[in-house]
């Protein structure tokens, strides 16, 4: 490692199992200096932060939460490759003081890979409550590894940890070579495999014993790398040893290794951990009983989620409270709520900003002023109006996650979700999807089953995001009173039914092809605790960040393109009337498709154009309608277009269900790593939206009249 080049910089990788308090410690260690990015080539978040201490800049890299280094998940591969990359100088492995028996497993595996490791016991303030006594010094002596106990709650041990990092970096303490765990009965096999591995080019880079242990367990990453290096013969010889083990022990090699590792761990823990028997280890046992009840559990969970969304919707758009007040005759009160909703206030702000900009730009050419005010401020403003809403969804979901309620909700809704071919793991992507589909599709990674994940990726775009809520609210506001409310609720219900239906359909298809058995749940239920502000903020920011990036880049571009398309002809000459513009001529090609919904002539291409723009970003539909008609509000725009009630219903349904927005499509492609899956999703959505809107039109004609 080139320490001279780095000067006084120490790179510290931080790894730990899920729920051991890694985010909390990371935040305390780095204070506010955190950078969020993605790991190269994948959409897994990478957090980095730094802290200056005693003349060093200690640079922390947070690795994904993992249970082991088996390379069976993307997160495990990322963590492992980073530790082995040679970049980190020191590795922190976090162990939960309240459950050391299980969480030490990762530490043992880490020590086999990386010698400059520090074992950090988190939540050390809780050991008393749990009746646990850990002899840290004995553990440190036995493993010859520095051990530090910290507590994020009381902030103890933080300075000691920083001191230890520096000492390990300077080589004053800590291991010089990786840990050689004695594999007992497997020892002869490990030794044979190690002799073989030493012939491989890989062993120049990585600890040979660790390579041997991993290769024996059929580690695909390592074996593939060896094959790439042209060491097929070595691989075959190792595989021979592997099948020998299987023949002797009559069970899978992975299981034998895990068993030996855990029994070594149990031996070790027996020497350093004493558990005093206490009456109730868990204070919240009653709550778990509630969530695990087959009827009460789902009811409690659904109530929590419904409540959260009722709060968010009302705060943000005034919906559904405003429409309820309208329909019972309190129009003024409804308007008040609408204007003082977060969305309303932001809208006012951007109108004001546009006015100010127009004054400031006095004297500039007209087209430039229009571009800035209508194009940039108007367009980006129309999107930033959603920011508080996305923020609230993210915040409340982060609270659920950090308090430990989230896995309990997932557990209690598992049986319900199983009926449509999903597991409890799907509930959080779905909830996030009500905010924005982009983070939702990324969150589908929480499902440990690959086929279930693909099905989620293909169906999550049916979950109505907030952008669609605003569009639907805008269009539905043209209907009077309670009819508007019914339409919005009906379109939500339709979207959910279609989500469930398509989910089930894909599941049945997968099952016919023999891909799946049952969607299964395997979820750790951490103890409930009061959420920590910083962690909640961090989780929230993660979700919101994606949205801001989207608003700042894609939607900004879309607005500009849309503005140009409406103000210039196909020959790029300025046009006097919008109907001569480039946008209009493209839209006119598609407009015949809207004839079955009764749209004809001028109206047809205008609607087609708005929907085309909506493909780039759904929320832009409303803005496009406003620009096309020159109306102030969406309700006025709909009135000026002269749409019938049946057409409003049909347009609402179509907006709700048709193609995911561009950003969602990009994320579907990235997460599924398949253009085919992305295109199939778009096709499914288009066909369903088209059929649904025609049906909606026909039914509305029958029940509402034209």
Partner 1 sequence: MRTQSWGYVPLEALPSGAKAKVVIVMAPGSWSQRLLQMGFVPGAIVEVLYNNRPGPIIVRVMNTTISLGRGIARRIFVEPIVEGETS
C-beta closer to partner 1: residue 158 or 258? 258
Which span sits near partner 1 by CB under 8 A: 93-101, 361-369, 574-582, 629-637?
Answer: 93-101
Q: How far is the CB of 431 from partner 1 (least distance, A)?
A: 18
Q: How far is the CB of 258 from partner 1 (least distance, A)?
A: 4
Which residue, among 228, 141, 428, 434, has the nearest Cα to 311 in the 3D structure? 434
Q: Does 520 help bind partner 1 (rule: CB under 8 A)?
A: yes
Q: Does 98 help bind partner 1 (rule: CB under 8 A)?
A: yes
Site track for partner 1 across 56-85, x = CB under 8 A: -----------xx-x-x-------------
Q: How far is the CB of 237 from partner 1 (least distance, A)?
A: 23
Q: How far is the CB of 450 from partner 1 (least distance, A)?
A: 8
Which residue, among 569, 518, 529, 60, has the nearest Cα to 287 in the 3D structure? 529
How is residue 112 written in tokens? 């086999």
Q: Does 128 help bind partner 1 (rule: CB under 8 A)?
A: no
SS (H, E, C) 581-642: CHHHHHHHHHHHHHHHHCCCHHHHHHHHHHHHHHHHCCCHHHHHHHHHHCCCCHHHHHHHHC
Beta carbons of 92 and 14 less than 8 angstroms apart: yes
Sequence-distant (≥ 6) Cβ neighbours of residue 469 within 8 angstroms:
313, 317, 319, 488
C-beta closer to partner 1: residue 172 or 419? 419
Q: How far is the CB of 521 from partner 1 (least distance, A)?
A: 4
Give the Cα separation of 693 and 500 in Å (integer).
18
How is residue 20 written in tokens? 């051991």
Q: At what angle do helices 601-616 and 556-567 cross, to 10 degrees?
A: 150
Site track for partner 1 across 250-289, x = CB under 8 A: xxx-xx--xx--xx------------------x-----xx
Give the Cα separation of 8 and 257 in Å (integer).
40
Q: Does 99 help bind partner 1 (rule: CB under 8 A)?
A: yes
C-beta closer to partner 1: residue 349 or 450? 450
Q: Does 503 help bind partner 1 (rule: CB under 8 A)?
A: no
Q: How far is the CB of 403 from partner 1 (least distance, A)?
A: 15
Give the Cα separation of 665 and 656 in Å (integer).
16
Beta carbons of 650 and 693 less than 8 angstroms apart: yes
C-beta closer to partner 1: residue 109 or 402? 109
Q: Does 517 help bind partner 1 (rule: CB under 8 A)?
A: yes
How is residue 9 written in tokens? 């910089």
Q: How far is the CB of 101 from partner 1 (least distance, A)?
A: 5
Give the Cα separation of 528 and 495 in Å (integer).
33
Which residue, among 575, 578, 562, has the nearest Cα to 629 in the 3D structure? 578
Q: How far is the CB of 260 from partner 1 (least distance, A)?
A: 9
Q: How far is the CB of 512 from partner 1 (least distance, A)?
A: 18
Which residue, among 142, 129, 156, has the nearest Cα to 275 in the 3D structure? 129
Chosen residue from 424, 429, 435, 503 binding partner 1 by CB under 8 A:
424
Chosen residue from 324, 399, 525, 557 binding partner 1 by CB under 8 A:
525
C-beta closer to partner 1: residue 317 or 449? 449
Q: Does 105 help bind partner 1 (rule: CB under 8 A)?
A: yes
Chosen residue from 412, 562, 603, 672 binding partner 1 by CB under 8 A:
412
Please count the residues of the chain. 706
Give the pairing type, strands 132-134 and 273-275: antiparallel
Site for partner 1 in 372-411 (CB under 8 A): 407, 411
Q: Which residues of this chain interact with partner 1, rule CB under 8 A? A: 67-68, 70, 72, 98-99, 101-102, 105, 250-252, 254-255, 258-259, 262-263, 282, 288-289, 292-294, 297, 407, 411-412, 414-415, 418, 423-424, 448-450, 517-527
């Amino acid at each position: 490692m080139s320490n001279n080049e780095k000067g006084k910089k120490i790179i510290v990788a931080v790894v730990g199992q899920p729920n051991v308090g890694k985010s909390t410690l990371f935040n305390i260690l780095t204070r506010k200096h955190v950078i969020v990015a993605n790991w190269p080539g994948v959409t897994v978040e990478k957090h980095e932060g730094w802290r200056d201490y005693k003349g060093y800049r200690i640079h922390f890299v947070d690795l994904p939460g993992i249970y082991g280094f088996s390379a069976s998940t993307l997160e495990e591969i990322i963590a492992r490759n980073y530790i082995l990359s040679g970049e980190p100088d020191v590795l922190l492995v976090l162990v939960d003081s309240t459950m050391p028996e299980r969480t030490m497993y990762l530490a043992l595996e880490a020590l086999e890979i990386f010698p400059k490791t520090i074992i950090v016991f988190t939540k050390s303030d809780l050991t008393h409550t749990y009746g646990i006594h850990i002899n840290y010094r004995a553990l440190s002596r036995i493993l010859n590894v520095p051990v530090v106990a910290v507590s994020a709650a009381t902030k103890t041990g933080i300075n000691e940890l920083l001191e230890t990092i520096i000492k390990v970096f300077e080589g004053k303490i800590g291991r010089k070579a990786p840990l050689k765990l004695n594999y007992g009965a497997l020892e002869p096999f490990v030794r044979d495999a190690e002799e073989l591995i030493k012939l491989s080019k890989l062993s120049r880079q990585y600890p040979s014993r660790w390579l041997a242990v991993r290769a024996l367990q059929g580690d695909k990453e390592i074996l593939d790398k060896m094959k790439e290096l042209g060491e097929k013969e070595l691989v075959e010889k190792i595989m021979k040893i592997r099948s020998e083990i299987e023949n002797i022990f009559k069970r899978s090699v992975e299981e034998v290794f895990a068993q030996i590792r855990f029994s070594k761990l149990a031996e070790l823990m027996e020497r350093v951990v004493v558990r005093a028997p206490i009456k109730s280890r868990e204070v919240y046992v009653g709550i778990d009983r509630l969530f695990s009840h087959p009827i009460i559990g789902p009811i409690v969970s659904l109530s929590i989620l419904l409540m959260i969304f009722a709060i968010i919707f009302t705060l943000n758009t005034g919906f559904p409270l405003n429409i309820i007040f309208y329909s019972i005759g309190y129009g003024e009160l409804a308007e008040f709520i609408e204007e003082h909703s977060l969305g309303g206030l932001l809208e006012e702000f951007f109108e004001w900003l546009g006015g100010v900009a127009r004054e400031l730009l006095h004297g500039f050419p007209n087209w430039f002023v229009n571009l800035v005010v209508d194009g940039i401020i108007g367009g980006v403003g129309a999107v930033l109006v959603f920011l508080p809403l996305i923020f609230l969804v993210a915040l409340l979901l982060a609270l659920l996650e950090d308090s430990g309620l989230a896995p309990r909700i997932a557990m209690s809704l598992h049986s319900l979700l199983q009926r449509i071919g999903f597991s409890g793991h799907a509930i959080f992507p779905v909830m996030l999807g009500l905010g924005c589909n982009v983070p939702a599709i990324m969150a589908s990674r929480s499902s440990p089953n690959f086929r279930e994940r693909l099905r989620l990726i293909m169906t999550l775009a049916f979950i109505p995001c907030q952008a669609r809520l605003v569009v639907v609210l805008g269009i539905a506001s043209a209907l009077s009173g309670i009819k508007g409310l019914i339409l919005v609720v009906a379109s939500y219900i339709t979207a959910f039914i279609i989500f469930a239906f398509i989910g089930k359909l894909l599941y049945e298809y997968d099952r016919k092809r023999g891909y799946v058995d049952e969607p299964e749940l395997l979820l750790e239920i951490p103890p409930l605790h009061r959420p920590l502000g910083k962690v909640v903020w961090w989780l929230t920011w993660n979700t919101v960040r994606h949205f801001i990036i989207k608003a700042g880049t894609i939607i900004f571009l879309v607005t500009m393109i849309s503005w140009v398309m409406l103000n210039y002809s196909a020959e790029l000459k300025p046009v006097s009337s919008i109907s001569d513009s480039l946008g209009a001529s493209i839209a006119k090609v598609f407009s015949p498709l809207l004839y079955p919904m009764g749209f004809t002539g001028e109206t047809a291409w205008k609607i087609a154009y708005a929907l085309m723009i909506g493909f780039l970003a759904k929320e832009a539909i409303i803005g496009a309608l406003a620009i096309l008609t020159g109306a102030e509000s969406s309700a006025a725009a709909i009135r000026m277009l002269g749409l019938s009630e049946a057409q409003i219903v049909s347009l609402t349904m179509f907006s709700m269900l048709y193609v995911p927005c561009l950003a969602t499509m990009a994320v579907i492609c990235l997460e599924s790593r398949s253009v085919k899956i992305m295109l199939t999703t778009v096709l499914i959505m288009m066909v369903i939206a088209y059929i649904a809107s025609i049906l909606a039109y026909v039914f509305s004609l029958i029940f509402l009249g034209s």
